[in-house]
């Protein structure tokens, strides 16, 4: 059995490890076009901001460690073609500068996503970046050495995390967002406004409703971002306007894409092409609240899909349970989290949804350092089904209680089920009626 995996980060390496554990006799080969495998891209903003010492700290396992475990890991090898009928791949060995043909019995496409680069951002100017992989982070870090003004385009997850990192490095930061508010993806207006206030309190110049038209440069280096509302001067520009799934190999293999544009897979991570699997950011998943196919590319999803694919490719039987759209990020002092659907998303889906907003403290008000926490809880009128939650907490770690709601959403629980939950209480941790319970009580 020859299992070949394309892409050696979250989904790819999870699959390789599981497949090997399931079938130690299988030959497992990982092709990675980049210089790194098995690292946490999620840590990149924290290296840039100085919370994590260096990029090396993000690497979970080196290729050497994986080879010692019997996995064949080939860096700087880009897979450029698939012949699904012959079960072969064309692989470009960048080091040797030649292409080779490689056979497979089972193939996993764990190729991730690529940052969206609008036409105006396709530039040779130094100081213009995207952030996806370790070399992107290293390039941004190099540009920051002599930079004073940063402009970040896109106030989504990456833009928000980077704004904090760049302020921590002492730069002035302008954050440009095309949409009407920051954190547009997956948050309702009250959460978005609170995030924006936090950015502004920390010196970020936030400009929403601002489309970008071009870049300006001087001496080969970027000098500004041209917007509909004038020029923003900048020595370093990061474009973080979203991602698109890498589906070229899947299409070459004849595999079907879903309506989201990502690769369509079944619950065993099989594509529509026999012997070809897909897992991670490049693949769709089923949303357990809406029962729709979605493309929500996140780290745990990628690792979990990879595990499932690994077991199945090695002859086992594992299934991916679907997701409920849980995500969390930190921006300066705030922890911001969401799960399920927002009121706006529920309205868009035609659900009869209702939301309540509750402000409280993250633990007993009389105990030291009680910090404000806001919860928005969304449920379905009539059925009483829990639909989603958003949390904005001034003690960032407190936003992690979103997991209580996420776990219940997985079981299609009701608002009453949340209210009935026996949650932990002692004054340093929560109020006797935790803010989630108060919100469930109000929504009931």
Residue ranges in contact with ligand FAD by CB under 6 A: 6-7, 9-12, 31-34, 41-42, 44-45, 78-79, 110-113, 131-132, 158, 246, 249, 280-281, 297-300, 302
Characterise 152 by phi-psi region: left (phi > 0), alpha (psi -120 to 50), beta (else): beta
CB of 10 to ligand FAD, least distance (A): 3
Q: Residues with Cβ < 8 Å from 265, sequence gap 6 or more? A: 271, 277, 278, 279, 283, 284, 305, 320
Distances (CA, A) of 29 to 11, 75, 151, 308: 14, 11, 41, 17
Give the largest Cα separation in the chain, rounded.
Answer: 70
Binding region for ligand NAD (CB under 6 A) out of 57-65, 158-166, 257-265, 344-352:
158-166
Q: For residue 415, give the 3-state DSSP assignment.
A: helix
Enumerate the active-site residues. 42
**C-beta closer to ligand FAD: residue 30 or 370:** 30
C-alpha 352: how far from chain center: 29
Rounded to 5 degrees, φ, ψ at 336 are -130, 125
First-to-final CA distance of the chain: 55
Q: What whole-number distance in Å separates Cα of residue 70 and Cα of residue 418?
A: 46
C-alpha 182: how far from chain center: 16
Rounded to 5 degrees, φ, ψ at 91 are -125, 125
Question: Between 137 and 156, how does the x/- string for binding to ligand NAD read (CB under 6 A)?
Answer: ----------------xxxx
Given ligand FAD, ligand NAD, none, residue 242, with its beta carbon under 5 to 8 Å by kind, binds: ligand NAD
Binding region for ligand NAD (CB under 6 A) out of 14-22, 50-58, 241-249, 376-384:
241-249
The reply on whether position 402 binds ligand NAD by CB under 6 A is: no
Question: Out of 13, 212, 265, 436, which residue is the one contacting ligand NAD (CB under 6 A)?
Answer: 212
Given ligand NAD, ligand FAD, none, residue 280, with its beta carbon under 5 to 8 Å by kind, binds: ligand FAD
CB of 323 to ligand FAD, least distance (A): 11
CB of 236 to ligand NAD, least distance (A): 16
Q: Let me know: does 236 contact 150? Beta carbons within 8 Å.
A: yes
Helix (H) or strand (E) holding 278: strand 276-278
CB of 39 to ligand FAD, least distance (A): 8
Q: What whole-number distance in Å separates Cα of residue 57 and Cα of residue 43?
A: 9
Residue 402 in tokens: 């979103």
The reply on whether position 179 binds ligand NAD by CB under 6 A is: yes
Ranges of beta strands (E only) in 177-242 are 204-207, 212-218, 221-227, 230-233, 236-239
The reply on whether position 157 binds ligand NAD by CB under 6 A is: yes
Q: Let me know: does 386 contact 392? Beta carbons within 8 Å.
A: no
Distances (CA, A) of 90 to 2, 99, 102: 16, 7, 6
The reply on whether position 329 binds ligand NAD by CB under 6 A is: yes
**C-beta closer to ligand NAD: residue 76 or 178:** 178
**C-beta closer to ligand NAD: residue 297 or 306:** 297
The reply on whether position 297 binds ligand NAD by CB under 6 A is: yes
Question: Out of 140, 232, 241, 334, which residue is the one contacting ligand NAD (CB under 6 A)?
Answer: 241
The reply on whether position 187 binds ligand NAD by CB under 6 A is: no
C-alpha 399: how far from chain center: 17
Rounded to 5 degrees, φ, ψ at 3 are -100, 125
CB of 379 to ligand FAD, least distance (A): 25
C-alpha 96: how far from chain center: 33
**C-beta closer to ligand NAD: residue 49 or 242:** 242
The residues in 221-240 that bind ligand NAD, with binding defined as CB under 6 A, are 240
Given ligand FAD, ligand NAD, none, residue 261, with its beta carbon under 5 to 8 Å by kind, binds: none
CB of 281 to ligand NAD, least distance (A): 7
The reply on whether position 184 binds ligand NAD by CB under 6 A is: yes
CB of 22 to ligand NAD, least distance (A): 28
Q: What whole-number distance in Å separates Cα of residue 189 and Cα of residue 258?
A: 30
**C-beta closer to ligand FAD: residue 224 or 297:** 297
The reply on whether position 336 binds ligand NAD by CB under 6 A is: no
Residues that bind ligand NAD (CB under 6 A): 118, 153-159, 161, 176-179, 184-185, 211-212, 240-243, 297-298, 327, 329
């Amino acid at each position: 059995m020859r299992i070949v995996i394309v892409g050696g980060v979250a989904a790819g390496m999870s699959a390789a490890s599981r497949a090997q554990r399931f079938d130690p006799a299988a030959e497992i080969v990982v092709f990675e076009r980049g210089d790194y495998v098995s690292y946490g891209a999620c840590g990149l903003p924290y290296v840039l901001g100085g919370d994590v010492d260096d990029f090396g700290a993000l690497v979970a396992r080196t290729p050497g460690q994986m080879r010692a475990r019997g996995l064949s890991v080939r860096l700087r090898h880009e897979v450029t073609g698939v012949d699904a009928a012959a079960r072969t791949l064309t692989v470009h060995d960048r080091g040797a500068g030649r292409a080779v043909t490689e056979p497979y019995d089972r193939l996993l496409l764990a190729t991730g996503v690529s940052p969206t680069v609008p036409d105006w951002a396709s530039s040779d100017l130094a100081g213009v970046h995207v952030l996806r992989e370790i070399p992107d982070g290293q390039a941004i870090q190099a540009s920051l050495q002599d930079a004073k003004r940063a402009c970040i385009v896109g106030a989504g997850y990456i833009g928000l995390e980077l704004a904090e990192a760049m302020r921590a490095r002492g730069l002035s930061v302008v954050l440009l967002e095309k949409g009407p508010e920051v954190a547009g993806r997956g948050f309702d207006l009250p959460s978005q406004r609170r995030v924006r206030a936090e950015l502004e309190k920390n010196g970020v110049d936030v400009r929403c409703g601002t489309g970008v038209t071009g870049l300006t440069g001087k001496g080969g280096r970027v000098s500004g971002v041209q917007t509909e509302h004038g020029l923003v001067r900048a020595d370093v520009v990061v474009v973080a306007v979203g991602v698109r799934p890498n589906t070229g190999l899947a299409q070459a293999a004849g595999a079907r894409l879903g309506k989201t544009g990502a690769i369509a897979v079944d619950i065993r991570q099989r594509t529509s092409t026999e012997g070809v699997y897909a897992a991670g950011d490049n693949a769709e998943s089923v949303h357990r609240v809406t029962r729709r196919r979605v493309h929500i590319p996140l780290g745990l999803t990628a690792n979990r899909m990879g595990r499932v694919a690994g077991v199945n490719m090695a002859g086992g039987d594992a299934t991916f349970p679907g997701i409920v759209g849980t995500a969390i990020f930190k921006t300066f002092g705030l922890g911001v989290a969401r799960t399920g659907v927002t009121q706006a998303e529920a309205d868009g889906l035609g659900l009869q949804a209702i939301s309540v907003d509750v402000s409280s403290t993250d633990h007993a008000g009389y105990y030291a350092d009680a910090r404000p926490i806001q919860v928005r809880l969304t449920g379905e009128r009539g059925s009483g089904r829990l639909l989603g939650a958003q949390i904005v907490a001034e003690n960032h770690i407190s936003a992690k209680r979103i997991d209580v709601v996420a776990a219940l959403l997985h079981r299609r629980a009701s608002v009453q089920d949340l209210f009935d939950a026996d949650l932990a209480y002692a004054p340093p941790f929560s109020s006797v009626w935790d803010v989630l319970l108060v919100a469930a009580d109000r929504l009931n």
